[in-house]
Structure 1
Amino acid sequence: MGESVLTVGSATTVEPGFVHVDGVLHCDAIPAPVIAEAAGTPTYVYSAGLIRQQYRRLDAAFARVPHRIHYSVKANSNLAVLRLLQAEGAGVDIVSGGELYRAHEAGFTGGDVVFSGVGKRARELHEALAAGVLFVNVESEGELLLLDQVARERGVIAPVALRVNPEVAVDNPHEYIRTGEKGHKFGIPFDDVPRVARETRDLPNLKLVGLDMHIGSQISSWEPYDAALARLVALLVRVRADGAQDIRYLDVGGGLAVTYDEEAPADVSRFAAGVIEATRGLDVTLVLEPGRFLVAESGILLTEVLFRKRSGGKEYVITDAGMNDLLRPSHYEAFHRIDAVKPTGERVVADVVGPVCESGDFLALDRDTDDAPPGALLAVRTTGAYGFSMASNYNSRPRPAEVLVDGDRFAIVTERERYEDLVRQERASLDWRVA
């Protein structure tokens, strides 16, 4: 991976994005077939310019108040993407020790890191405190006690933010991406927070520095977010009155919707104005945790049509990308636009499916799509978030390559896995042990 790929402003100025030029889909100034020739298919392709554009748009919306943008690494953890955001001034929100390792490899220091997640292990907490993270988002009393023990063993005071479950109903596309309703596994139940805040202050190796919430992803209606934020603010006032005077961070989460089909884009100005007004006079630094918003629309999945098939009166477009490469359609019933790299001008209603041995292996069902012949390239849109990061080796399929485009240049930032990579950690000669 060439470091020069990530140098801000070093590429020729080109309007970033995915557009057809002379009948061929381009990412920025690079024709998609050029990328496919260099990297093969399936391959994820990201526009560096679009990622920068989204980051700067959100950063500018909050410019008049103290704030920090901590990118949610789980959305897309590629080192090139992380380094690009680090160069923009972002911090990161992590949910595992592995993501902490990636963050350090990408140049983030401890103070750039917020550690979230409902099931942290003692080893991960040791690693977080050794790194000097900004704070740990604690999600249960059991975690609170474990963190105090780990901090005592290390001889340090651990900075803590309590993740609050605001217990509001959210209207978004799938129940699996809702995280702030009553009974969810995430966060501390709303009514328990004042007591847990007192417990935090009583534990000798912890310091309560923040409150946190996250109600889910793809939030397209502001009412539940406004309601959750109002509850979080009221809780902050209450716990401060109860003695928690060191709270200086209010982590308001993320979840801004992105466009997968014909949805309106998130109104970032409205989001920022609402948060700023609701937190006016609180003397806190706002922490934002966008993941999908920063990277989703920057990415496509390039895939080649292998075969065409007709069965039971249904048309099938069979591609070399399957559910192991892009899980979202199967797992979340997610819609992704699919464009032909070189449109034929003819349309067909078809299922666009992959090669994986599962009936649930599909990219689109009953889709009005280009009548693409075998050998044609398709681009599955809005796959920059939760695409490669959720990919697997199911059916012993090597994971795809990843490519970063920056204006008029591109680089392969993840090499395609090879067959030998599939068994690299496995052992043919066994070291048997007995109890």
Structure 2
Amino acid sequence: MTHSIPSLTGFTEHHGEWFAEGVSLSALANQYGTPLYVYSKHAICTAYRAYDVACIRANGSRRARIHYAVKANSNLAVLDELKQLGAGFDLVSGGELARALHVGADPKSMVFAGVGKSSDEIKFALSVGVKCINVESIPELQRINSIAKSLGLRAPVSLRVNPDVDAQTHPYISTGLKDNKFGIAYFEVLKTYREAALLPHIDIVGIDCHIGSQITSTSPYLDALDKVLDLIDQLKRDGIVIHHLDLGGGLGIDYGSDAPPDITEFTNTLLNRVDERGFGHLDVILEPGRSLVGNAGVLLTQVEYLKTGADKNFCIVNAAMNDLMRPALYDAYHAIVPIKSGIGKAITYDVVGPVCESGDWLGKDRALAVQEGDVLAILSAGAYGFVMASNYNTRGRPAEVMVDGDQAYLVRERESVNSLFANERTIGPS
């Protein structure tokens, strides 16, 4: 497959040097060290507004609301910026709920999802008054009813439909097929809604569907949407009124060989189908994550060694699979560029990290003109980058910086080694 450098809002190359808005990546690497995640505020704002413009009708009324999928990038600075832009939040854990509350988000702008919610998480969500809990199974529905009873309230719920639609994406991030763990099987949805309507502490408010991530075609969305709209019609005949339609997220980005639809065009296509089928009265929710932040971030890493092998050359860097898991986990491609143009002839390398695993690689067969000490930028790392990072090999997670114009802000400090075992204890002498 042929790859190219993706077009990145907020990140540009001038005279052989890369910049985040008005700040050189070289200056950031020097000031904050590497590995380092760098985010562009401008890129996040631009992507959000591309969605938002399609969500407003010509008369000024709103036909859809954007709830950012926090799992894509949960840094508080990212959440706060999106809150200020007007976004609500799609949450899949009690920790993400706590983060959204910490930046001052209104609970009524939050949808709580996730396939394995604990009792404590459900109680937390109900206690603060989230807009809706998306239900993934019948046992979960019964648990929510019981917890709502103990709290003396009615729980607002939406059932997540598994429409058995192929999202045409990586199998690990496909969520809408019948053999995926997510949602309620399409053939069981009507029966489950009828059961939910009989539960005394359940208030049915919506219907939800999410089919996967890094989807680059509109057709799977339309297939799933039509199935869900058919269900809403059938539910109405049963006397069950749906107030909101949650279409989920999952729109892909360009990593270098992808061709996702334009955000505004994509959003208009979905919302126009909703209107054409006579459901324009519904409160529609969209839950983008990757498409808001994926191309708004890069990971900077320094070249430690250049190693010549019998069959491979290795560019060994100080970032690793614990910093950016996607290549090792999904065989995912990220474009990799020197932040300053190198001298000499480009040589083909596998870009690998220092972790003691053969799966610790960040890019394979990359033509790079680099020397030891140079800094590389791993592009399109704003989504599912830091949030999936770990401390494997007792490695501290990177610092994170957000750039706004010609100003850079440290939005997360680098973890020190001592902090990694601050909560651990030995049991003393035998």
TM range (shorter): over 0.9
Q: What CA distance in whole angstroms lies between the structure 2 residues aligned with 1:192 and 1:99?
A: 30
Corresponding residue number in structure 2 for 1:249: 244
Q: Compute the displacement of 1:259 (Å).
A: 0.7
Q: 1:427 aligns with which of 410, 425, 428?
A: 425
Whether the 8 Å contact between 1:308 and 1:316 is mirrored in structure 2 is yes
Deviations 1:54-103 (A, max 9, x none): 00110101211421110000000000000000000000000000000011
1:115 has 2:112 as partner? yes
Q: Compute the displacement of 1:186 (Å).
A: 0.2
Q: What CA distance in whole angstroms lies between the structure 2 residues aligned with 1:343 and 1:265?
A: 29
Q: 1:56 aligns with which of 46, 49, 52?
A: 49
Q: What CA distance in whole angstroms lies between the structure 2 residues aligned with 1:272 and 1:419?
A: 45
2:294 aligned counterpart, secondary structure: helix
1:416 aligned counterpart, secondary structure: coil
Corresponding residue number in structure 2 for 1:387: 385
Q: Compute the displacement of 1:16 (Å).
A: 5.4
Q: What CA distance in whole angstroms lies between the structure 1 residues aligned with 2:232 and 2:305?
A: 58
Q: 1:288 aligns with which of 286, 289, 302?
A: 286
Q: 2:32 aligns with which of 5, 15, 39?
A: 39
**After the TM superposition, which parts of structure 1 deviate over 3 Å for at least 4 consecutive aligned residues?**
none
Cα 1:337–1:219 change in 2 (3 A) is: same
Q: Equivalences for 1:10-409 in 2 at 5 Å?
A: 17-64=10-57, 65-172=62-169, 174-245=170-241, 247-280=242-275, 281-282=278-279, 283-345=281-343, 346-368=345-367, 370-409=368-407
Corresponding residue number in structure 1 for 2:4: none
Q: Compute the displacement of 1:285 (Å).
A: 0.8
Q: What CA distance in whole angstroms lies between the structure 2 residues aligned with 1:52 and 1:235?
A: 35
Q: Compute the displacement of 1:425 (Å).
A: 1.6
2:393 aligned counterpart, secondary structure: helix
Whether the 8 Å contact between 1:212 and 1:253 is mirrored in structure 2 is yes
The two structures, once aligned, show a CA RMSD in angstroms of: 1.4
Q: What CA distance in whole angstroms lies between the structure 1 residues aligned with 2:20 and 2:263?
A: 24
Q: Compute the displacement of 1:224 (Å).
A: 1.7
Letter of the 1:424 counterpart: A
Instruction: Normalising by structure 1, report the TM-score.
Output: 0.93
Q: Compute the displacement of 1:37 (Å).
A: 1.4
Whether the 8 Å contact between 1:326 and 1:388 is mirrored in structure 2 is yes
Q: Compute the displacement of 1:274 (Å).
A: 2.4
Whether the 8 Å contact between 1:109 and 1:131 is mirrored in structure 2 is no
1:402 aligned counterpart, secondary structure: strand
Q: What CA distance in whole angstroms lies between the structure 2 residues aligned with 1:391 and 1:30?
A: 25
In structure 2, the gaps of 5 or more residues are 1-7
Q: What CA distance in whole angstroms lies between the structure 2 residues aligned with 1:23 and 1:273?
A: 38
Whether the 8 Å contact between 1:16 and 1:27 is mirrored in structure 2 is no
Q: What CA distance in whole angstroms lies between the structure 2 residues aligned with 1:51 and 1:34?
A: 22
Letter of the 2:395 counterpart: R
Q: What CA distance in whole angstroms lies between the structure 2 residues aligned with 1:18 and 1:85?
A: 19
Q: What CA distance in whole angstroms lies between the structure 2 residues aligned with 1:170 and 1:265?
A: 13
Q: What CA distance in whole angstroms lies between the structure 1 residues aligned with 2:398 and 2:113?
A: 28
Q: What CA distance in whole angstroms lies between the structure 1 residues aligned with 2:227 and 2:260?
A: 26
Q: What CA distance in whole angstroms lies between the structure 1 residues aligned with 2:76 and 2:40?
A: 14
Letter of the 2:171 counterpart: E
Aligned-pair identity (%): 46
Of the structure 1 ranges 222-231 and 294-303, higher mean CA displacement relative to structure 2 is found in 222-231
Q: What CA distance in whole angstroms lies between the structure 2 residues aligned with 1:404 and 1:270?
A: 28
Q: What CA distance in whole angstroms lies between the structure 2 residues aligned with 1:23 and 1:61?
A: 36
Q: Compute the displacement of 1:264 (Å).
A: 2.4
Deviations 1:112-165 (A, max 9, x none): 110000000010001001110000000000000000001000001110000000
Q: What CA distance in whole angstroms lies between the structure 2 residues aligned with 1:186 and 1:243?
A: 26
Whether the 8 Å contact between 2:215 and 2:260 is mirrored in structure 1 is no
Q: Compute the displacement of 1:205 (Å).
A: 0.5
Q: What CA distance in whole angstroms lies between the structure 2 residues aligned with 1:262 and 1:166?
A: 28
Of the structure 1 ranges 160-169 and 340-349, higher mean CA displacement relative to structure 2 is found in 340-349
Q: What CA distance in whole angstroms lies between the structure 2 residues aligned with 1:365 and 1:102?
A: 36
Cα 1:76–1:183 change in 2 (3 A) is: same
Q: What CA distance in whole angstroms lies between the structure 2 residues aligned with 1:119 and 1:428?
A: 32
Q: What CA distance in whole angstroms lies between the structure 1 residues aligned with 2:265 and 2:16?
A: 37
Whether the 8 Å contact between 2:163 and 2:209 is mirrored in structure 1 is yes
Of the structure 1 ranges 62-71 and 412-421, higher mean CA displacement relative to structure 2 is found in 62-71
In structure 1, the gaps of 5 or more residues are 1-14
Q: Compute the displacement of 1:269 (Å).
A: 3.4
Deviations 1:186-242 (A, max 9, x none): 000001010110111100001110000000011112222111110010011111211
Q: What CA distance in whole angstroms lies between the structure 2 residues aligned with 1:277 and 1:19?
A: 34
Instruction: Normalising by structure 2, report the TM-score.
Output: 0.94
Q: What CA distance in whole angstroms lies between the structure 2 residues aligned with 1:328 and 1:300?
A: 13
